[in-house]
Amino acid sequence: MNRELDVLICGNIASFLPARDIVKTAAVNKAFSLGCEQNEIWLLRLQEDFNYFDKQKNRSPGFYKRYYLALIEDRLEADNLISGGH
């Protein structure tokens, strides 16, 4: 199969998966990993999971992925502090 087609297909599949599954699958499949680097996928995840809206459309490659993962990390820390009684 054509490499560009693999990346396109994987990117389209990733848009339907939860972020957790995207990260896990991207770790073991090179084509899926390349497809998951698309900003559109992570922008969609930000919009669905955090009601995020961005007026600036020309972000650097990987910006939305890094931002999403940072928000998730902050949420996990807050949840752990709450459940730990702090």
Give residue 63's pLDDT.
92
Which of 26-30, 60-64, 81-85 shows the lowest mean pLDDT across its residues? 81-85
Coil, helix or strand for 28?
A: coil
Q: How many CB atoms lie within 10 A of CB 41?
A: 24
- Give the domain extent around 33: 3-83
Write out the DSSP string of 59-84: PPTTHHHHHHHHHHHHHHHHHHHHHT
Q: What is the pLDDT of residues 38-76, one digit of tens each?
A: 888 888 889 888 999 888 878 898 899 899 989 988 877
CB 10, CB 31: distance < 8 Å: yes
In the chain, the number of structural domains is: 1
